[in-house]
Amino acid sequence: MQNILVGFGAVLGASLGGVIAESIGWRWCFLLQVPVSVLALVVGYLVLENPPCMIPTVDPKNQFRSALQRLDLSGAVTLVFGLVAQLLGLSLGGNEYPWGSQIVIGSLLASMVFLAIFVAIEANTKAIPMIPLRMLRGWQPIAVQMSNVFSGMAAYAVCWTKLIIP
């Protein structure tokens, strides 16, 4: 279902956004997402259920502390640092600094280190993990990623074909 919606967004997003921006203004491209997001939140709340094993038990005396212990804060912080370092390296590389500069290479190496630490934390955490590694096992995640890669390649092929052959 998610890939279907991403496909519709990839096909219709730019043209629909252009129509909205040209007719009623670019701000409405963002404002029109609010009711859709609220509807998705309500439907998700009503339809999706937490698995019984994932509902944390909370100590009645120290509710805040026991709930905080169930959160994977170290994983979240490590993931944020890893992604920020990666985006910093990819943004600065080729724009502000050459790709071979120490800042760009250092940012990308720091990103790899933080993301490796993140995977190690997720594999050993006692809290509810940010990304349960069991979700990445099997053939389904590989099939989903291959589907995304091929649909992205097809989208870029269509764009390049339109640029080359007017």
Q: Which residues does 74 contact at the CB level (< 8 Å), separation at least 6?
A: 121, 125
Average pLDDT rounded to a whole number, residues 71-80: 92
Q: Higher confidence at residue 99 or residue 126?
A: 99
**How far is Cα 10 from Cα 69, in angstroms, rounded to an integer?**
39
Structure-token pair, residue 57: 């038990």
What pTM was computed for the model? 0.61
**CA–CA separation, 58 vs 73, rounded Å?**
17
Residue type, 73: L
Q: Where are the domains of the chain?
A: 1-49, 64-131, 132-166
Of 138 and 70, the structure prediction assigns the larger pLDDT to 138
Q: pLDDT (tens digit, 9 = 90+) per residue, 135-163?
A: 888 898 889 889 888 888 887 787 666 66
C-alpha 119/C-alpha 162 separation (Å) is 41
Least confident of 51-55, 109-113, 130-134: 51-55
